Amino acid sequence: MIYGLWNNPLYVQTAGLVMGFLIVLSTLIFFVKRKGAPYTTAWVSLKSWLFVAPLLFAAFALPKSATLIFLAWMGVLSAKSFFQMVGMYHRSWFVWITYLFIFGLAHMIWYGQLEYYNLTPMIFLFVIALVPIMRNSATHMIQYLALSLMAFIFWGWSFMHMGRLLTFEGGEFLVIYLYILTEVSENVTWACSRLFGKIKPFNRISNKVSLEGMIVALGVTMLLAWGLRHLLPDRSEQYWIAAGLVAAIFGRMGDLIINVIRRDLGIKNTGVFIIGRDGVITRVDKMIFVGPLYFYLYIYLQQISLPQ
């Protein structure tokens, strides 16, 4: 017997279309991958997504409680990669407190304890501030406190707004919709920047992002937001326009922030994730601003849509 969203024709069609698109595009890129670095990079990325996409669709087809645990686990893996990047993985007190708080956020979302969710950054800061006191140590503690708080805000409080979106009616489709938009926007930006991008306003942070690439990606993302609006719980114009703008503009911000950290640390990437490009952080960094921004925009749009 098939459970979950695999009984939903819309979900099956969406998964089939995405996988079909990836297979066709991967086949085309496979035969031209030796023509230059842009094609090789595209092939590596697509090869990775041929493995990742089925896992994501399988995870989101599970009951919402299991999908929420999956999102929390992705947050924990991202936090783990972050701690490894900044050389803090050996500071077990800070690391494990961060992990526990991320899973605690999932618990609060599931049980609707949203007033506590909004307080967690302050509670988290208080708890980790006790660590140097309990250890009777002040060495490097400002650094550890700051990096731990950054990890929790990015990969916990901020990213887990995707879990809050999940609790809405049709939330699974909403989260998938936002993720598709941000992923397409990112890859279009990179492709256009490589092919004809001249103006690179963030060249000291990332050579993958050009003004031309962002403009083209904005247009493609808005078109895709309109074309996939049937995935939204409400297909009204304001919802898909807001989603397209948030995904295209703020999706880049998450990636750029991680590049700032990598450049500052002098490291090239964040590790290998399954097969292909970079580590788990690159799979979710685009959502650390998109998730909370669209969550509150969605609530605001619902409020102004109510009859007076």
DSSP-derived letter for residue 47 is H
pLDDT reading at 147 higher than 90: yes
Q: What is the mean pLDDT of the chain?
A: 87
Do 248 and 181 touch, CB atoms closer than 8 A? yes
Distance CA 260, CA 272 (A): 19
Residue 107 is encoded by which pair of tokens?
Answer: 């618990």
Residue of 293 and 264 predicted with greater confidence = 293
Distance CA 179, CA 290 (A): 9
AA letter at 228: L
pLDDT digits (tens, 9 = 90+) for 215-260: 999 999 999 999 999 999 888 999 999 999 999 999 988 889 988 9
Compute and round to an integer the Cα radius of gyration of the chain: 20
pLDDT digits (tens, 9 = 90+) for 267-284: 765 554 444 455 678 778
pLDDT reading at 136 higher than 90: yes
Do 61 and 4 touch, CB atoms closer than 8 A? yes
Closest residue by Cα to residue 258 from 8, 76, 79: 79
Q: Give the Å distances, CA to CA, from 244 to 12, 49, 169, 182, 228.
A: 23, 22, 20, 8, 10
Distance CA 19, CA 202 (A): 33
- CB atoms inside a 10 Å sphere around CB 25: 15
Distance CA 114, CA 66 (A): 19
Residue 145 is encoded by which pair of tokens?
Answer: 């406190």
Do 131 and 96 touch, CB atoms closer than 8 A? no
- Please state the pTM of the whole predicted model: 0.89
Do 217 and 188 touch, CB atoms closer than 8 A? yes
Residue 2 is encoded by which pair of tokens?
Answer: 């098939």
Q: Which pLDDT score, from 0 to 100, does residue 111 have?
A: 94
Averaged pLDDT for residues 143-149: 95
AA letter at 78: S
Q: Which pLDDT score, from 0 to 100, does residue 2 have?
A: 46
Closest residue by Cα to residue 86 from 148, 129, 155: 148
pLDDT digits (tens, 9 = 90+) for 189-215: 988 888 888 899 998 888 889 999 999
Q: Is 205 helix (H, G, I), strand (E, B) or coil?
A: coil
* First CA to last CA distance, the chain: 46
Residue 225 is encoded by which pair of tokens?
Answer: 């937001």
